[in-house]
Amino acid sequence: MAFKDGDEIVATPAASTVKNLDGIDPDWTILDWSKYLYTPRGVRVAIPNMARGCPFTCSFCSQWKFWRDYRVRDPKKVADEIERLVNDHQVGFFILADEEPTINRRKFIEFCEELIARGLPDRVKWGINTRVTDIMRDRKLLPLFRQAGLVHVSLGTEAAAQLKLDQFNKETTVADNKLAIKLLRDADIFVEAQFIVGLDNETPETLEETFQMAWDWQPDLANWAMYTPWPFTPLFQELRDQVEVYDFSKYNFVTPIMKPAAMTRGELLNGVMKNYRRFYMRKALFHYPWRGTGFRRKYLMGCLKAFLKAGVGRTFYDLGKAGYWGPQSKAKVDFHFDETRTIAEAQMQDWDATADRAARARERQQAVRAQVKERVAERAKEAAFQLPADAGPIMACGGGKQQMQEPAE
Ligand code: SF4
């Protein structure tokens, strides 16, 4: 909890996390449901939660730090909640709010089986965000996921270059990204590739690379999120000297908070828009309309409609507010940052997460193992050491025949 005490900002230590998520029952009746529409399908949408937290430690991500421990609900209770959303509020699509709902494979399978047993996939479809590594691990389960109504997966592919994936601590490779996309498409699940752009070393060439990569991988959808330097993430700790904007109202993944060394913010926005234009123009002309006549085609055309709606309304990437009207306006865009905002010391403190402790324990374990290995190697070396045949007896101090005399009393 943070509050202002006179001129000082005070932040209390973090409270402990809620361990029993099943004890929390969201009240869905308070929503004005007419406002919650999923444009691609023209149905009501809800964003329920199955788990909190993430056991991974991607350097740019605030989620694992924010939630700290990974905790998951009883899959039956989540299915109960979905059933209520469908029956009581006519929800036709839901997106699991989880950072990575597939991490606990057993519970995720149980959840899918519950939905199938209740006949819910005919009445509600759904989407998730997840990791490339989970898709590869679960490749044989993808048909079951699809049968349970999972139709849309946003994949944290993040980068087109291995160097960046390593910098993000993603623990994946560019080849894994491509394979995971193919596996999802083969299972008839729409796949959305997510890229993070706008770090210090971004250039027009690296932006172009992400476009080429996206086109080569052929996900159904792609998005380019602006890197956002959330305080208390490991990458922020590294880059904090380069962070100039602390107007958190603009920390929304679409505003270029960071200025790359070789580009202006306007050029960065323009490069991202160029990628969107080319990707969706080609998809609209050569892919979406020709993807059969059933659910697939309808869904993709619905996604295109959602994009066009945001583009025409100029809400896409806050283009209206920034005054972006195309390449010719890139030098004139204004993001209206409130430059009076600064960061309070308390906000920069690093939160100790379970994943932090696990990573430290892993490091300690590796160090101990390396030490043991070193000792074993040294002993083996000693055992293998042979004295030359003509060597005399071993003398004290390893010296000659004259031994050190005890001083006379
Ligand atoms: S896997 Fe996703 S949620 Fe987890 S730390 Fe990485 S980016 Fe964040």
Selection from 86, 85, 130, 83 nearest residue 108 by Cα: 130
Residues 366 and 281 in one domain: no
Per residue in 71-91, is it b (16+ CB within 10 Å) or e — as a string?
bbbebeebbebbbebbeeeeb
Instruction: Please compute the mean of the pLDDT values over residues 3-10 and round it to a whole number.
Output: 84
Reported as a single tens digit per residue, the pLDDT across 301-354 is 999 999 888 888 888 989 999 999 999 999 999 999 999 998 876 555 555 666
- DSSP 3-state percent helix, strand, coil across the chain (nearest 5): 50, 15, 40
Say if residue 118 is in the same domain as residue 207: yes
Q: Report yes or no on 12 lying in a domain.
A: no
Q: Is it the case that residue 399 has pLDDT exceeding 60?
A: no
DSSP-derived letter for residue 291 is: S
Answer whether residue 173 is part of any domain.
Answer: yes
209 and 130 within one domain: yes
For ligand 1, whether the C-beta of 230 sits within 6 Å is no
**Cβ 58 under 6 angstroms from ligand 1:** yes
Q: Is the CB of 235 under 6 A from ligand 1?
A: no
| Judgement on whether residues 325 and 360 belong to the same structural domain of the protein | no
Q: What confidence category does residue 80 fall into, taking pLDDT thresholds of 50, 70 and 90?
A: very high
Q: Are residues 283 and 265 part of one domain?
A: yes
- More reliable by pLDDT, 68 or 161: 68
The residue range of the domain holding 209 is: 18-351
Q: Number of structural domains, the chain?
A: 2
CA-closest residue to ligand 1 atom 6 = 58
Cβ of 196 closer than 6 Å to ligand 1, yes or no, is no
User: Would residue 276 count as lying in a domain?
Assistant: yes
Range scoring the smallest mean pLDDT among 293-302, 338-347, 380-389, 397-406: 397-406
Q: Are residues 210 and 316 in the same domain?
A: yes
- Helix (H), strand (E) at residue 321: helix 319-322
pLDDT range class, residue 68, cuts 50, 70, 90: confident
Q: Are 75 and 110 in contact (CB under 8 A)?
A: yes
Q: Are residues 33 and 112 in the same domain?
A: yes
Ligand 1 centre to CA of 260 (Å) is 23
Mutate to test the pocket of ligand 1, among 100, 102, 165, 228 (most ligand atoms within 8 A of CB): 100
Whether 268 and 231 map to the same domain: the answer is yes
Q: Distance, CA 170 to ligand 1 centroid (Å)? A: 8
Closest ligand 1 atom number to CA of residue 170: 6
* CA-nearest residue, atom 1 of ligand 1: 56
Whether 132 is in the pocket of ligand 1, judged by its Cβ within 6 Å, is: no
Q: Residue 359: its pLDDT value, please?
A: 72
What contacts 175, CB < 8 A, 6 or more positions away?
Answer: none
pLDDT score, position 350: 54
| 310, 374: one domain | no
Average pLDDT over residues 190-211: 92
Judge whether 386 lies within some domain: no
Is residue 163 pLDDT above 70, yes or no?
no
**What angle (nearest 5°) sits at the alpha carbon of residue 106, between those of residues 137 and 126?**
80
Give me the percent of the chain exceeding a pLDDT of 90.
Answer: 57
Amino acid 302: pLDDT: 92
What's the angle, vertex CA 98, arms to CA 94 and CA 103, rounded to 5? 120
**Which of 72, 131, 194 for a ligand 1 pocket mutation test, highest count of atoms within 8 Å of Cβ?**
131
- Measured in Å, residue 99 CA sits from the centre of ligand 1 at 6
The reply to whether 252 and 264 lie within a common domain is yes
pLDDT reading at 269 higher than 60: yes
Ligand 1: centre distance to CA 135 (Å): 14
User: 62 alpha carbon to ligand 1 midpoint, in Å?
Assistant: 8
Q: Which residue has the higher pLDDT, 280 or 368?
A: 280
> pTM for the whole thing?
0.82
Question: Mean pLDDT across the stretch 208-231?
Answer: 92
User: Same structural domain for residues 309 and 179?
Assistant: yes
Give, using CA atoms, the residue closest to atom 8 of ligand 1. 61
Calpha distance 252→129 (Å, rounded): 18
- Tell which one of 49, 50, 52, 54 to mutate to probe ligand 1, the residue whose CB is within 8 A of the most ligand atoms: 54
**Closest residue CA from atom 2 of ligand 1:** 99
Measured in Å, residue 203 CA sits from the centre of ligand 1 at 25
Same-domain status, 174 and 89: yes
For residues 281 and 237, which has the higher predicted lDDT (pLDDT)?
A: 281
Please work out whether the CB of residue 61 comes within 6 Å of at least one atom of ligand 1: yes
Ligand 1 atom 3, closest CA: 99
Answer with the one of 314, 336, 351 that is the final residue of a domain. 351
Which pLDDT band holds residue 99 (cuts at 50, 70, 90)? confident
* Confidence at residue 158, expressed as pLDDT on a 0 to 100 scale: 64
Percent of the chain's residues with pLDDT above 70: 86
